[in-house]
Chains A and B, each alone.
Chain A
Amino acid sequence: MQLMNEGTVARVVGWEKGEGECDWTPALFESVQEMDGFVYGDYAGANLSKYCVKMNKAEGKTLVVLKPCDTLSFRQLIHEHRLNRDNFYLIGAGCKGMKDESGLLLKCKTCKGKDFEIFDEIIDDEESKQPTAIMDRMEGVTALENETAQERFDFWRNELSRCIRCNACRNVCPACTCEKCVFDNPASSVASKAPVTDFEENVFHIIRAFHVAGRCTDCGECSRVCPQHIPLHLLNRKFIKDMNELYGEYQAGVGEEERTPMTTYTKTDAEPSIVRERGNA
């Protein structure tokens, strides 16, 4: 994979091995010698798009290795003017489904597909084109929707009460690139540092999901990184499912259109009362 020599690109963002079998870490390589440590394979789960925001202002081009799903995040970040396409050389890397110590990652079990949305060069093989999805992406959301309101409430209380507000979900999220998050901003009137009450647990996750609605590519990093194992993707996917159903199929990070379902409308959109009229109470 080290076909990029110095000159064309000033640095490479990829992965290197850790102390054990599965603890690969996103890594920065700034010279050809360093590239000896470069690896790509089964444990390259992290989405490197988020690191690109930091690299956007660096001198020279940065080579970044992106999996098919990561390219969606990259494209979305271009839509949001957080990245300048010209500053990057993108290697689309084939993906056979990524793993951690306990096997195939959750996000890969509901893989969205193997197409690269944006790239300069693709390195893959036949095997990496085979679908990895083994379950329906919206299965979890649908199951919850079919429960009663009380069941849903109990489910989410149990899940969200574990939140320790470590901000891993936010900090890993390629859609969360605010210079200053409202929850960190003392002037915003809603800043908070610890989930002191149920309400603070709820509001952080509702608002975070709302802020990334339409921009979330469903890369699944939030759930992957949560040290408390909260299924955060179920919140984002709820918005994705709703938007698909109400405003037409949409995948953030695909195509040239910069508008998201939340920054556009039609005159015949569903009324908010649709929430009262459908599904289980």
Chain B
Amino acid sequence: MTYQFPKANAEAIVKGISRAVYAPVEKDGLTSFERYEAGMNLALDTIPTDKSMKDVFFPQWENLMHFRVEGKTIELTEEERCHQDFVIFGARACDIQAVKVLDKVFLADPVDSYYASRREHCTLVALACDKPEDSCFCKNFGADPASPDADVTLYPVGDDYYVQTNTEKGEALVKEWNLDKAEEGPVEWLKGEIGKKYEELPFAHLNLKGFDGEHLKEKFDSPKWKKLSMACLGCGSCTFACPTCQCYDIRDYDTGNGVQRYRCWDSCMYSDFTLMAAGTPRPHQLERYRQRFMHKLVYFPANNDGMYSCVGCGRCIKKCPMHLHIVKVIKALGEEESK
């Protein structure tokens, strides 16, 4: 079904949703998905947000369990899983594609119950991207910015949002909003416009030929990694901004009265990533840098039916302090291929 409401009403609609809502919010010049509360500054026009939607399903840190030591006995309390429905309002195609990547990891056996419970309870309201940034290149990786795959999709046309429901869950949510029905025409027009706009983006057509399991060794051994990785600081900016990076570390915090076990994001860029008794398997930044991009562009698709674990959101382009990013890697290593 197709509905319509004025853009000016968006805040009222978000406020009116009876469940918890996570939406892009701007604070101090930075945008991220936060649990919406009255007074927050909705940022529905930002593409992409500084921090991705990943934070909602897979937060930077979360408690897993707590041990308490009494005398010589240990008492264990597990952290509760998510058990209440919630809504994400304003998801973009790239982030939604990213969740599909995360699903491959966390919902595969063994299922990550912390992640799964959140996925289960979520109703996703997406926004079509009418004003892409120059750094966007999602179409290369299977995301469709014109019709993002969600329970509900909003299409900004003029001063209105056109609303299309794609699932029963979505239909149920939109019913609460009491909207007027609308024509589908403007939606189709917008899809066309978006299609054209994306054709004109600088990174609209990246040559991904050869980024697959077949050319693994060739890519791995490329002498270009040295130059590509030289400026890398080994910080975690790209991994933490990335909507698909899913590596985490499990750590214990001794509270004095017990132990809080939590997990937190880790980064393959760090020198102590996957540290073992015999040291780190990737002692130099070159190897760590290569690992990140090989994983996104070669290993992951090789193991997941060709699905890349880059979604083209362009966050790494914006966030890297030294201006290194995946497009440079694709161009550098891809050229080799086309010769």
Which residues on A are within 8 Å of B, measured CB to CB? 18-20, 23-28, 46, 50-51, 158, 162, 164-168, 170-172, 184, 192-194, 196, 224-225, 227-229
> Within B233-255, which residues are at the interface with A (CB < 8 Å)?
233-237, 239-241, 249, 251, 253
B328 and A26 form a contact (CB under 8 A): no
> Within B286-339, which residues are at the interface with A (CB < 8 Å)?
317, 319, 321-324, 327-328
Chain A contacts of B28 at CB under 8 A? 158, 162, 229
B30 and A168 form a contact (CB under 8 A): no
Chain B 101-124 near chain A by CB (<8 Å), digits 1 or 0: 000000000000000000000000
Chain B contacts of A23 at CB under 8 A? 317, 323
Instruction: Supply 24 A–B pairs (Cβ within 8 Å), ascending by A.
Output: A19-B317, A26-B230, A27-B227, A27-B230, A46-B322, A50-B233, A51-B230, A162-B30, A164-B236, A166-B235, A168-B235, A168-B237, A168-B321, A171-B234, A184-B272, A193-B249, A193-B251, A194-B264, A196-B253, A225-B322, A227-B50, A227-B237, A227-B241, A229-B29
Chain B contacts of A172 at CB under 8 A? 233, 235, 321
Distance in Å: Cβ of A189 to nearest Cβ of chain B:
9
Distance in Å: Cβ of B71 to nearest Cβ of chain A:
24
Cα of A225 to Cα of B262 in the assembled complex, Å: 28
B237 and A25 form a contact (CB under 8 A): no
Chain A contacts of B272 at CB under 8 A? 184
Cβ-based interface call for B202 (8 A):
yes
A196 and B264 form a contact (CB under 8 A): yes
User: Given A26-B230, A166-B235, A196-B61, do A225 and B271 touch, yes or no (CB 8 Å)?
Assistant: no
> How many pairs of residues, A versus B, come closer than 8 Å at their CB atoms?
94
Cα of A207 to Cα of B58 in the assembled complex, Å: 29
Of B29, B249, B267, B322, most buried by chain A (CB within 10 Å of CB) is B322
Cβ-based interface call for B184 (8 A):
no
Cα of A25 to Cα of B323 in the assembled complex, Å: 6
List the 4 closest pairs (A to B, CB-CB), nearest first.
A225-B321, A194-B264, A168-B235, A23-B323
Cα of A171 to Cα of B267 in the assembled complex, Å: 14
What residue in chain A is nearest B264 (Cβ atoms)?
A194
Chain A contacts of B239 at CB under 8 A? 166
What residue in chain A is nearest B253 (Cβ atoms)?
A196
B235 and A28 form a contact (CB under 8 A): no
Distance in Å: Cβ of B225 to nearest Cβ of chain A:
12
What residue in chain A is nearest B319 (Cβ atoms)?
A227
A193 and B264 form a contact (CB under 8 A): yes
Cα of A172 to Cα of B230 in the assembled complex, Å: 13
Chain A contacts of B12 at CB under 8 A? none
Interface residue from B29, B240, B253, B322 paired with A166 (Cβ < 8 Å): B240
Cα of A168 to Cα of B270 in the assembled complex, Å: 11
Chain B contacts of A171 at CB under 8 A? 233-235
A18 and B230 form a contact (CB under 8 A): no
Distance in Å: Cβ of A33 to nearest Cβ of chain B:
13
Chain A contacts of B321 at CB under 8 A? 46, 168, 172, 224-225, 227
Cβ-based interface call for B231 (8 A):
yes
Cα of A196 to Cα of B317 in the assembled complex, Å: 27
Chain B contacts of A170 at CB under 8 A? 235
Cβ-based interface call for B130 (8 A):
no
> Within B59-97, which residues are at the interface with A (CB < 8 Å)?
60-61
Distance in Å: Cβ of B219 to nearest Cβ of chain A:
20
Cβ-based interface call for B226 (8 A):
yes
Chain A contacts of B262 at CB under 8 A? 196
B328 and A19 form a contact (CB under 8 A): yes
What residue in chain A is nearest B50 (Cβ atoms)?
A227
Chain A contacts of B203 at CB under 8 A? 19
Cβ-based interface call for B265 (8 A):
yes
Chain A contacts of B227 at CB under 8 A? 27-28
Cβ-based interface call for B212 (8 A):
no
B271 and A184 form a contact (CB under 8 A): yes
Of A23, A46, A50, A51, most buried by chain B (CB within 10 Å of CB) is A23
Chain B contacts of A162 at CB under 8 A? 28, 30
Cβ-based interface call for B183 (8 A):
no
Chain A contacts of B328 at CB under 8 A? 18-19
